[in-house]
Structure 1
Amino acid sequence: MDKLRSMETFIAVVESGSFTGAATRLEISAVMVGKYIALLEAQLGTRLLERNTRRQSLTDAGRVYFEEARRVLEQVSIAERSVERLRLAPAGTLRISAPTSFGACVISPLAAGFLQTWPEVRIELDLTNRMVDLVDEGVDLAIRIGDIHQTDVVAKYLCPYRMAICASPDYLARYGTPRTPVDLVDHLCLSHTVWTARNEWKLPGVVGEVRWKRDAILRCNDGHGLRMAAVAGAGLLLQPEVLLAEELANGRLVRVLEGFTPEPRPIHLLWRQDLRPLPKLTQFVEHVLEGTLGLRGK
């Protein structure tokens, strides 16, 4: 028999004053009440109740056990209410892993809006380009760029990860505007340091793929630093659209070769295959899907 149920029965007997009263409160038979009490006393190796034909009273052990058991059941009740609260509405800590740039530009602002709507939630946002293990690292939600080959996760398509080639108006005035990938031979490029060993732009050309491999005039380990160099006229830059949105909108950078950018890669939301995901996760997924409608609709 369940020990917590036995404790609950014992407390009901003490508070109601009889087996019959406890049976009525717990909606079980008086015989079952007796079995729970007998089991509890056997497990503890001592009597908890002194019983005769007219009344029952607590033994010394019974008085001590009654106070402690009542505290235990109160803590169990608090724990159950806490879990129920998590299941009824978004609450608790939501751990998210996202690619560094996309996470900073897209997920972080969306997280801020979500927290305004659901103040009982706390978010831990880990920006990393490393592929995390959802189970081993306790991650609730991961955002991944590229195709998904895992079968032990739920994958929800979010939006395409589009790239853009751009340069400043000043640079284009000095070097001209490339019309096809073949024209890149006359241009300077900027590159992220993670691309040093493979600094090659693979672009769809008029008659097939064009590969432009050239030593970058400037390498930097930070995307923002590269954008500022491009704005200052240092060269052509190939970056994700979401990182370039502000500079493209205000004209500090201009798109070039719009028909020749690399194929977009898919971005997915990933989470574990729990039978009943908590509202903090399901509501955040819905919030992100709604907040990225513009990225899907382009």
Structure 2
Amino acid sequence: MDRFASMEVFATVADTGSFAAAADAAGISAAMVGKHIRQLEEHLGVRLLNRTTRRQSLTDAGRDFLERTRIVLAELEAAEALAAESRAKPRGELRINAPFSFGVHSLSPLLPIYMTENPEVSVRLTLSDRVVDLVDEGYDCVFRAGLLRDSALIARGLRPLRLIACASPTYLAQHTQPKRPSDLARHTCLGFAGSALEERWTFYGDGGETIVPIVSRFSTNSGEALRQAALAGLGIVLHVEEVLADDVATGRLVHILPEWRSERPLHILYAPD
């Protein structure tokens, strides 16, 4: 039997003065009240109550135990209230890992909003283009772009990352600008190493899906390095729209194939517990 429950019943008997009144207050039978008291006394090895046919009174040991019981029950109630508050109101440190470019351009602008809405949460954000081990490296959640590997982690799908194809004015001055995705096969492209984007790009338009094999003269697993390569005129890049938005707005890069869209899956992963 739950010892805390028995202690609560004991305190109720002490307050009400009888098993019957305690039973009414606790919503259980008088027989169950008696069972709680007997088991508590057997566990402690002392008598807590002097019993008469009509009323129960505390023994000396019972009075001492009641004093401590009230302290324990008050602490238990406070602990339960704290746990309930924690569920309702996030608090503590949230440890996040995200790809570098996505973290800088897409995630970081939103974190101040989240932290303002949750003032008792502190955030530790680590940006890395390598695949981290969430459990071993102590993260609460990680953001991952692209197809997921099988794992024991829980994955929640988010809005896919919108990708745009861009090239520098220098590159386009030396090459004919692509008019359709199939034209990319005749261009130098910049591939994202270790992903499907290193070998083929997928576009969606009025004609449906188009998959284009690409030739990567330069590939890297760093989104920022890909951006820099595109700015330097090394080739055409397919990258997250938010990452290239400023470059397109200032003319450092030109958005090509604007009538075609491309995207990459995005998930947030966390442990089952």
Q: TM exceeds 0.5?
A: yes
Q: For this pair of structures, how many residues does the alignment match?
A: 265
Which residue number corresponds to residue 250 of structure 2? 250
How far apart, in 1, do the equivalents of 2:230 and 2:13 lie? 79
Unmatched tracts of structure 2, length 5 or more: none
CA contact (8 A) 2:185 2:215 kept: no
CA contact (8 A) 1:166 1:254 kept: yes
Which residue number corresponds to residue 130 of structure 1? 131
Partner-residue secondary structure (3-state), 1:47: coil
- Residue 169 in structure 1 maps to residue 162 in structure 2: no
Which residue number corresponds to residue 60 of structure 2? 59
CA contact (8 A) 1:96 1:140 kept: yes
RMSD: 4.4
Partner-residue secondary structure (3-state), 1:83: helix
How far apart, in 1, do the equivalents of 2:6 and 2:152 lie? 40
Residues 159 and 198 (structure 1 numbering): CA distance in 2 closer, same or farther, change over 3 Å? closer
Which residue number corresponds to residue 224 of structure 2? 224
Q: Which has the higher helix share?
A: 1
CA contact (8 A) 2:20 2:30 kept: yes
CA contact (8 A) 1:164 1:258 kept: yes
TM alignment of 1:206-217, pairs within 5 A: 209-216=211-218
TM-superposed CA distance for 1:77, in Å, is 0.8
Residues 29 and 41 (structure 1 numbering): CA distance in 2 closer, same or farther, change over 3 Å? same
Which residue number corresponds to residue 241 of structure 2? 241
- Residue 265 in structure 1 maps to residue 267 in structure 2: no
How far apart, in 2, do the equivalents of 1:151 and 1:201 lie? 25
CA contact (8 A) 2:190 2:216 kept: no
Partner-residue secondary structure (3-state), 1:10: helix
TM-superposed CA distance for 1:81, in Å, is 1.1
Q: Which range moved further: 8-17 or 47-56? A: 47-56
How far apart, in 2, do the equivalents of 1:29 and 1:200 lie? 73
TM-superposed CA distance for 1:69, in Å, is 2.5
Residues 127 and 28 (structure 1 numbering): CA distance in 2 closer, same or farther, change over 3 Å? same
CA contact (8 A) 2:134 2:140 kept: no
How far apart, in 2, do the equivalents of 1:214 and 1:142 lie? 28
Q: Which range moved further: 62-71 or 4-13? A: 62-71
Residues 147 and 224 (structure 1 numbering): CA distance in 2 closer, same or farther, change over 3 Å? closer
Residues 177 and 66 (structure 1 numbering): CA distance in 2 closer, same or farther, change over 3 Å? same
Which residue number corresponds to residue 33 of structure 2? 33
How far apart, in 1, do the equivalents of 2:253 and 2:50 lie? 88
Which residue number corresponds to residue 295 of structure 1? none
Q: Which range moved further: 143-152 or 108-117? A: 143-152
Unmatched tracts of structure 1, length 5 or more: 275-298
How far apart, in 2, do the equivalents of 1:126 and 1:64 lie? 54
Identity, in percent, stands at 39
CA contact (8 A) 2:188 2:215 kept: no
How far apart, in 2, do the equivalents of 1:122 and 1:177 lie? 47
CA contact (8 A) 2:166 2:236 kept: yes
Q: Which range moved further: 124-133 or 148-157? A: 148-157
- Residue 45 in structure 1 maps to residue 8 in structure 2: no
TM alignment of 1:71-90, pairs within 5 A: 71-87=71-87, 89-90=88-89
TM-superposed CA distance for 1:59, in Å, is 2.8
